[in-house]
Every structure is written in C-alpha cells, then in structure tokens.
Amino acid sequence: MLKQYLFTTLLLLPFVTRAQLLPANQPEQDACNALLLCGTPFSTPFSYQEEGTSLDLPVTPCGAPESNSVWLKLVVNTSGTFVFKITPIEITDDYDFAVLNATGKDCSSLGSTDVVRCNFNNNNPVFNAGIVGLTNTATATSVSSGTTGSSYCKYINAIAGETYLIMVNNFGDMGAPSSGFTIDFSGSTATFYTSASPTFSAIEPPTCNYANEITLQLSSEVKCSSIALNGSDFTLTPSGTIASASGVNCTDASGTGYTDEVTISFASPLPPGTYTLHAQSGTDGNTLLDLCNNPLAIPDEITFTVPRLRDTVYMTKCINQLPFVWNGITVTTAGAVAAVKHSISATGCDSATVLNLAIVDAFNTVIDTMLCTNQVPFVWNGINITGGGTPAATFSTVSESGCDSTVTLNLEVTPIKRQLETIEVCSNDLPFTWNGFTFAAGTTSADSIAVFNTTTATGCDSVVTLNLIIHPTDPVTASMDTSGCGFVTFKDITHYHSTTLIDTLLNVLGCDSVYNTVNITVYSNEPSYTSVAANGCEQVIFEGKTYLADTALTDTFRNIHGCDSLVRTVNVYVENFELSLKADPEEAVQGEYLTLTAEANVASFNVTSWSPAFLFADQDAYQQIFKAYRTELYTITAESSIGCKDTAEVNVFIDTLRPEVLMPNAFSPNGDGLNDVFGPRLYNKSGFVVLNFNIYNRWSNLVYKSDGSTSPGWDGTYYNQGVPADPGVYYYRIEVLFVNGQKVVQKGDVTLVR
C-alpha cells in the first residue's frame, strides 16, 4: 500500500503542466467500459485520477488496489503467447498493472481471484526507463507493491475466445499527474479481434446553446488525430454550416488522445427545426477512426431538433379594448414588446414569448360607387337609396373585433349610354354581319342603317347606332415569272423549290386592288463529278498544254439554264524518276561479301537488268549479295510504275586483305581529339571482326570489354561510363577474325597518360 499512500499525499502538490489530467469518473475507468484494443500499439496522453464510478478491483495479489486507473480489453482470436510492454512517455512516471482473465465473467463482478498477472513495482528511483509488462523470459506471476527493480511478469498462454482486461494504475511522477504511456504487444504469438467500426450513437441532451453547437456521442472511442478540426468529417441537412469539430478531452498537442464524444460547432446559430447530421470523409482524408484504425462507416446519420426558445405573438386591438389581460399580464399600451411571458422549456432553458401589439382607432370607411339610372332606387345596409349624393347615406356599426365602425356611401348616378359607330367595308366583303344585323351583297351606304340596344357590364342601358359606308371593288390581275439555279430569292425570302406566290394588293380604302401572281422556278444545281488522271515522265501534255510539275485542274460545265452540270477534275502527275545504287561496304577486301541495293525517289518501281549480267542470275532483284574479288563497275536499270526508266551505277574498289593488327603503347584521353581512344589499328577498312577486346588494370580487374565489334575503343573511363581510370599501365588481350578465316590473338600493355 506504500504507493497508494504516497500518491494520495503528493496529490496536494501543484500538478506538472506537462500532464493532461482528465476529470474523474471517465467511462474507461470502469471495467465494463474498458477500451477495446486489437493487438496493435496503443498510446494515451492522458493521466487518470480516482477509480471511476465503481471500485472494480479493491484488492490484488500484489497487495495494492485499483487507483487512478484506466481499463483496457483484448479478445483472443487465435491461441498463442500474450506479452506486452507499458512504456511511459516520461521515464519518471510510475505505472502499475493487473491482468484479469474475464472470460465468461460479468464485468461488474470481477475480483482478486480473476487476476492472473500483476506488477506494482516501484519506479522511484527510475528503473528500466519506467517500462513494465509481460515478457517471454520472466518467471514471476506477480510483483508486490513496494518492490523495486522487477519490471516484468511471465507471459500468458492465451486461448482463442478468451477475454482479458488490463487495469493500469497512473501513479505519475512523485504525485504529479502522469504524461501518458504506450502499450505494445510485440512478441505475442496470439492474435486479437479487432473492434467493430464506430457509429453515431446519440446527440447528448440539448443545452440552451443547442443552436450554436451539439455534442455527438459515438459507439466507441475514436482517435483525436482522426477528427478534422474544420468539421469536414460531417455535413448537415437541410441547412446549416459546420464551422469546427473537436473531441472532448482532445487537447493534447500531439493528437494521440481518444474520445467517444465530439463537439460540433456551427458557423451561425441554427434556427428552430429538425436537422440530420451525416458522416463523410473529411479534408484530412478519412472519416473518424477507432483505436484499431477501423473507419466510421459511410453513410451514417443521426437526427436532432433545435427547440424554439423565443417566439413572438402579433396582435391588433381597438383603442376601446385597452387595457386587457394576456397570459396573466395586464397590457395597457401598444408596442413591439408590449409584454414578455417567461417560462422554462422542457430542456431547462429560459423560454420567452413576446407580445407585439398594434392599436387601431375606430374604423371610418368611405365607399365611392357609380350606378346607372335604371339601377336606382336600391337598398344598402337597410337604407333605401333613391338618388345620388356625397354622401348618399351613412351606416354606423361595431366590427367583429369590437371596434366602432362608420361606413359612408358616395353615389354617382349615370344616364343611359348612347353611341354612334361608323363602319367602312368593301363591296366584295358583303354580306356583312354587325350585332345580329346582316347586310346582303348589293347593300349601299346609309346613315343610321341599324340601331342596337344592349346592357353594359355594369348593368346600364346602352344604345349603339350604325352608319355604314360601302366602297366599290374592281381588282386587276398581274403575273410574273422568275427562275434560278439551286434557289431563287424574291423579296428577301429564299426559295429552294419551285412554287407560285399569290399576293393581294389593297388600295388606300383597304379594298382589293391588284391580284399579283409570281411563278418561281428553281432548277437543279447539283452537278455530276468526274476525275481524270494524266501521267508522264518529266513532262505531261494535256489538251495542248505542257506541265512540268504536279497540277490539279478543275473545270465546271453548265446546262442550258446556266446551272452547274458537270465538274471535271484533272490530276496531272509529272514523275522525275531517279534511280540510285548503293554498295555496302563502299570499299571491300577480296573474298568479302558485298551488298548492292537499288533505291529510287518513288514508292514503286521494277528492276529490269543488272550488269555485269554474268554475276547476277536474278536480273529482277532489288538487292544483290555476293563475294567480290576485284574492283568492278556495277550497273542497274529500272522502270517506275508509270513506265519512266533510269540507270544507276557504282564503282566498288576491292582491296588486298592484310590480316595484321597494330596496337599503340600509350594514349592520352584529354579531349584534344588526338590519341583520345585506345584500340586496334588495321590496314583494311573492312573484312574483319574483333571477336573480343578486354583491358585489365594492374590488379587484374576488368576495366573495359567489347565483343563482336568492328571499331572497339577504350576512352580511359571504367567501361566507357564516364568515371576516369587512374593514369598508369593497363593490360589488354585482343582476338580478331579476318574474312579469309585467319584469327589473330595479341596481348600487351598500354600506358594511360593524363
């Protein structure tokens, strides 16, 4: 019990500022709320005080109880050994632990008999950097309180399906709160189940600041470092902007903490209503992650309601209705805040209802109206009205709201409406009907030809008299024709098909004057197309004209209507056929294979002959390969695909083979263009191949190698890759095979000079 006593006493000292001391009674301080781990390293920056809401372990085989504790939980997936190390962030911190086999046990009824390992080793003075745990080499199953220098207990043989709880006591540094620890399960052969992904659990009961922020309860702890501080792990519908998010207790600068509560703040207070909070991947690239890095599943959502804590009631009263009683308050005057009714809401917040009162005087209304003579007399509000006047009558009453009301009637009486209507029509528009009267063809002009009696929309009598004027009509007919190729534009309108337009022109009186007919004919303007090819060698004569280069000619022929009938394209192709003959090699040695290749400046041509003919059995070949023994002039003749002919020749010098190899004894690779490369010197330009050429330093290390080359050479760097070799003597071996089958092998040395 020594450390329990020391910690209780030293708690009176000022806390060290480096510690993040949590308030007492955190959920994970009780065995039933142990933090579920999955065998990966787990770190906490927190320091715990007291024992939670219940003392789960009042005594242990190590002689000391649970104190300032936090509980951890592991469920075995596959059987094996179970070890761990608890490493304090500050080596002066003292951590104790007890391991309980809680398989099949009620977490609320655990006791000392369930403890399978415990270590209450004292870390004052500091020993083993404060590290404690289980190892594969330790033999003790318990280390009693007050012991020093005994950091480890024996490993546990864990069986699949078993559940283990680890109780960790935070004794801190000589009474100061601890600075957190890391528990590492490296070395364990057993594996452990991972936790289920965290989910939204609940919105904590609303506070009076509910419109500004909410606290989200999660189903399990998540890492503080996985919470995006800008709130982007969440979104809100149907409206509202999230400004920030922070985990409860997540104040450690390193971000290594954990929490099961997140406070979410809004950019502006939410108006009363129902909202849904949704999960999403934040700008930090993840959703919330639990202690085993399991992400919060998407989609996940939870609904909450912002209550109405302040409301306004709008009311209008007559002046004669003051004062009156509203919600127990006597109201005597009007105003935006005529009275306030305070109450306590269901969430314990102050709720206020404000009365906005408007006062109206007695209602005085004036009605202005107009009636016809035939509509008077009439009864209005019980008053018999016999004629017009201002006023014609006055009516006093009380409104439904209890206000005095006076209505004054101003009446104007109008006489019968009389109207004269004059209509002009053309004689060809007869017969003509007006208000039920029909005027037949042949009718002549007349005043007051008809009288129509009716009633207006307002019920007044109305008399309309018709004066009718008839204008004579004698139209003439005019016709014109127009045509075009492909289209015709007439009066700014383009016509693509033949048509007839009929237009009627009116005189100044609006009667038909001219019947104008336009016949539009549209002839086809879609010609046929033909193409002609004219080819020739060096020049082409077509239709009497000579062409020396490729030319495209286009002619358009028209029909009797002047429309395009035929479009002819003539493609003139002038070919300047040039044949060439190439020899490889250009200078050969006796007995060496010589390749002659025919080439031309056109894509297609045919070879017709080779000379000397006795050397070439295939006179049509484009390439000849043979052994040459003397200097010779070779000639080839060919014809292009359109019949153009040309001849080419090449003179190949045949040298006498000298199978000798000369090797320099020094070279200076300084980039001056003189003696920069070391290699063989031969008399002939061809007729040989260097089978291999190796160069070694004085320690027999290979510095250069070439196989199967006709022009090998060492530039003074290792394998010709840019790293300069040291000055000095180097050794070479070279093997050269000549075309006559003779092989020359030489060895020697060369001096590299810098």
pLDDT tens readout for residues 393-428: 888 777 666 677 788 888 888 877 788 889 888 888
Q: Tell me the two tokens of residue 570.
A: 């003539």
Residue 623: name the closest of 562, 574, 587, 582 by CA: 582
The pLDDT value recorded for residue 85 is: 96
Confidence of residue 390 (pLDDT cuts 50, 70, 90): confident
Residue 71: name the closest of 93, 87, 53 by CA: 53
- Cα angle at 9 between 7 and 14, to 5 degrees? 85
Q: What is the largest CA-CA distance in the chain?
A: 150
Contacts of 698 (CB under 8 A, 6+ apart): 728, 729, 730, 731
In sign, the C-alpha dihedral spanning 224, 227, 230, 236 is negative
In sign, the C-alpha dihedral spanning 218, 220, 224, 225 is negative
Confidence of residue 13 (pLDDT cuts 50, 70, 90): very low
Whether pLDDT at 74 is above 90: yes
More confident residue, 397 or 527: 527
The pLDDT value recorded for residue 253 is: 67
Q: Which strands form 258-266's sheet, in the order they lie side by side? A: 200-203, 213-223, 258-266, 242-247
Give percent of the chain with pLDDT exceeding 90: 42
The pLDDT value recorded for residue 338 is: 74
In sign, the C-alpha dihedral spanning 554, 560, 564, 566 is negative
Give percent of the chain with pLDDT exceeding 70: 94
Fold for domain 579-655?
Immunoglobulin-like (2.60.40)
Whether pLDDT at 8 is above 60: no
Q: What is the mean pLDDT of residues 3-24?
A: 50
The pLDDT value recorded for residue 402 is: 67
Q: Residue-wise over 416-427: b if at least 16 C-beta within 10 A, else e?
A: eeeeeeeeebbb
The pLDDT value recorded for residue 362 is: 65
Residue 20: name the closest of 51, 54, 43 by CA: 43
Q: Do the Cβ atoms of 145 and 132 come closer than 8 Å?
A: no
Please state, in angstroms and rounded to a whole number, the distance separating the CA atoms of residues 284 and 232: 8
Please state, in angstroms and rounded to a whole number, the distance separating the CA atoms of residues 481 and 521: 8
Which CATH number, 1.20.1260.10, 2.130.10.10, 1.10.340.70, 2.60.40.1220, labels domain 200-306? 2.60.40.1220
555-582: pLDDT as tens digits: 888 888 888 888 889 898 889 999 999 9
Mean model confidence pLDDT for the chain: 87
Please state, in angstroms and rounded to a whole number, the distance separating the CA atoms of residues 298 and 300: 5
Q: What is the mean pLDDT of residues 196-218?
A: 81
- Name the one residue in this structure whose structure tokens are 């998540």: 222
Please state, in angstroms and rounded to a whole number, the distance separating the CA atoms of residues 368 and 408: 9
Confidence of residue 15 (pLDDT cuts 50, 70, 90): very low
* Mean pLDDT lowest among 127-136, 157-166, 307-316, 347-356: 347-356
With H, G, I as helix, E, B as strand and everything else as coil, classify residue 2: helix
Count Cβ atoms below 10 Å from residue 543 Cβ, excluding itself: 8
423-474: pLDDT as tens digits: 888 888 889 898 888 988 888 888 888 888 888 776 777 888 988 888 888 7
Q: Do the Cβ atoms of 717 and 723 come closer than 8 Å?
A: yes
Please state, in angstroms and rounded to a whole number, the distance separating the CA atoms of residues 494 and 678: 86
Q: Which amino acid is at 297?
A: A
By the 10 Å C-beta count (0-12 exposed, 13-18 middle, 19+ buried), 683 is classed as: middle
Threshold 0.85, pTM exceeds? no
Whether pLDDT at 504 is above 50: yes
Confidence of residue 478 (pLDDT cuts 50, 70, 90): confident
727-750: pLDDT as tens digits: 999 999 999 999 999 999 999 999
296-313: pLDDT as tens digits: 988 899 998 887 766 788
Confidence of residue 210 (pLDDT cuts 50, 70, 90): low
The pLDDT value recorded for residue 7 is: 36
Whether pLDDT at 678 is above 70: yes
Question: What are the structural domain ranges in the chain?
Answer: 2-192, 200-306, 310-360, 363-414, 417-471, 476-523, 528-575, 579-655, 661-752
Confidence of residue 277 (pLDDT cuts 50, 70, 90): very high
Residue 590: name the closest of 741, 708, 744, 746 by CA: 741
The pLDDT value recorded for residue 346 is: 59
Please state, in angstroms and rounded to a whole number, the distance separating the CA atoms of residues 596 and 625: 6
Fold matches, 200-306 and 661-752: yes
DSSP 8-class letter at 560:
T
By the 10 Å C-beta count (0-12 exposed, 13-18 middle, 19+ buried), 132 is classed as: buried
User: What residues are paired with 476 via a beta bridge?
Assistant: 514
The pLDDT value recorded for residue 572 is: 86
CATH class of the domain at 661-752: mainly beta
Confidence of residue 350 (pLDDT cuts 50, 70, 90): low
- 3-state SS, 27-83, equals HHHCHHHCEECCCCCEEECEECCCCCCCCCCCCCCCCCCCCCEEEEEEEEEECEEEC
Q: Which CATH architecture has domain 2-192?
A: Sandwich (2.60)
